[in-house]
Amino acid sequence: MLACRFRTWVLLLLVIFPILFDPSFSHFDSAKKKQMREKVRKMFYHAYENYMTHAFPHDELKPLSRSFTDSLSELGNLKLEHLPQNYNGTALTLIESLSSLVILGNYTEFERAVLWLSENLTFDVDARVNLFECNIRVLGGLVSAHILATDSTNRLVQGSYKNQLLVLAEDLGRRFLPAFDTPTGLPYAWINLKYGVMKNETTETSTSGCGSLILEMGALSRLTGDPRYESAALRALRKLWSMRSSLNLLGTTLDVETGEWIEHSSGIGAGVDSFYEYLFKAHILFGKEDFWRMFHSAYLAVQKYFRHGPWYHEADMRTGKATYWQLTSLQAFWPGLQVLVGDIAAANSSHREFVHVWKKFGVLPERYLLDHQMLHPTEKYYPLRPELAESTFYLYQATKDPWYIEVGETIVNSLNSYTKVEGGFASIRDVTTMQTEDHMHSFFLAETCKYLYLLFDDSFLVDRNYIFTTEGHPLPVLSAWHERLPEIYIPSNWTYVKNERQTKRSSAMSLQVCPALSLNAGHGEQQVESACHVPDDQSDHKCFSDEECGVDSTSCRRRSCSMAGYCGLWLVV
């Protein structure tokens, strides 16, 4: 239905906006995009070069003081003299910049960065890191860069790359696994890279924190052949989905040991946002229909209980009743996701409201109270977030409406006017005064500049098919990564008895066969259901958990739910 709506919208677009297809207008549009592309290129290198000069190899740049912060871990809170000996950070911003360098066509700098990371980066450090952030930023950056480095079109020097980034990614992935060792399979929010889960570690995490790991860890499994990473992320995702309310809504925070919700109010913003994003993108990347089933149910629930006109408020997962009427800057990703789904009209409606708020303040404030039409009293900052640029890129790709180019120009001009400083680009502490803050997040280079550049120049995407992670790292959509039901897997829920005239179903109980091991199966033979047989919940044998699987007819063994989401005799006994 959504796809049909998308096609209808495109047809209306052809009728209502014929100017879009005027050759003279197209020439003007092309010149404008080229001009804006170069502006974004300069923005990227102004930020990147300042990071490399003043902060590398530490995590992030402090553009006002021209210094650094190791923000990825708790070590960022320590003074320099208290850092572990020889600790130089994880070069976070460099890792986050790798795919952006390729998109900008700077293969020389990309290769230089890859070789430096190959020779110097280590994760064997006593550092407590946030699993979600480390996954989307570092693991995602390494996996994506590895794929780009092995792409022959990216013109790396022959023989200079020998899967070093994949080796680093797998080392990091292995260090993630202890976080999943919980009674529920939901991972701890924090993990020590050297020692695993620390004593008395907090058991509280967010829906995003345990439900947005499948793209990066799934890709790592596909690249290495080690299923543990995808299996851990998938188990957590399925457990999380099983905790939804009868309204198909989820809360914001939960306890990983008890599986109980802590905060029942949620929306599409902070703490939940990428959970929805990863359900649909995992469906695209891995081809599993289960992801679509989950996303479709969740999306309909969001539209029913959170949407109010073009806005999305928060609601209680148990009742669907509104709790907080507020706009958050992270919600601006939603129109981009709606474009992928095909719900263009709804995407455009919400996107225009975000643009209105951006123009009102000059940037997008972190939180805006819709019921009072005023800024949140304390969350008035803008940390260079990319979400509005991201949705603008997707909407332009879907419609080619030049209005989105104008929106991109507005964003670029605002960033240059209010956030550009001599030492890079600085966050805004207060959108009412445009007072700057001494921090440039790595996602400014990973996402903000990337989506703006792609808005004006999408040549990187020509003849290629990518999805972007929530941190803007491209992963290719490959048929080899799409799971198919194996040819040999035909659930053996029936045994057979020869009948020369016709095939009839008869009970194994009446034949006194249980289990039905003594009966041979063959084509044209009568099906006999074993007396011990308990059918799977779904007729197509798909599942989210072991509880949805029955008992096998021929062996009377309990069937289990595979990583691919099918019931079968997967466990070796």
Catalytic machinery residues? 133, 273, 366, 387
- Helix and strand element counts for the chain (H, E): 18, 25
Phi, psi (degrees; rounded to nearest 5) at 72:
-65, -30
DSSP 8-class letter at 31: H
Cα within 13 Å of Cα(345), Cβ side:
13
First to last CA, the chain: 45
In sequence order, the β-bridge partners of residue 437 are: 427
Residues 6+ apart with CB under 8 A from 245: 317, 318
Cα within 13 Å of Cα(538), Cβ side:
15
Q: How far apart are the C-alpha atoms of 118 and 109, rounded to whole Å? A: 14
Pure H helices in 400-448: 403-414, 443
Q: Which amino acid is at 323?
A: T
DSSP 8-class letter at 327: E
Please state the residue numbers annotated as binding site for Ca(2+): 470
3-state secondary structure 284-316: HHHCCHHHHHHHHHHHHHHHHHCEECCEECCEE
Q: How far apart are the C-alpha atoms of 538 and 489, rounded to whole Å? A: 16
How big is the chain by its Cα radius of gyration, in Å? Answer: 26
Is residue 179 a contact partner of residue 191, using CB atoms and an 8 Å limit?
yes
Residues 6+ apart with CB under 8 A from 16: none
In sequence order, the β-bridge partners of residue 435 are: 430
Is residue 165 a contact partner of residue 146, using CB atoms and an 8 Å limit?
yes
Please state the residue numbers annotated as binding site: 470
What tokens were used for 213?
């790991």
Q: How far apart are the C-alpha atoms of 132 and 330, rounded to whole Å? A: 16
Q: How far apart are the C-alpha atoms of 197 and 178, rounded to whole Å? A: 7
Q: How far apart are the C-alpha atoms of 112 and 157, rounded to whole Å? A: 10
Q: How far apart are the C-alpha atoms of 257 and 268, rounded to whole Å? A: 25
Residue 342: alpha-carbon gap to chain centroid: 18
Residues 6+ apart with CB under 8 A from 297: 248
Hey, how many other C-beta atoms are within 10 angstroms of the C-beta on 31? 10
Cα within 13 Å of Cα(264), Cβ side:
11
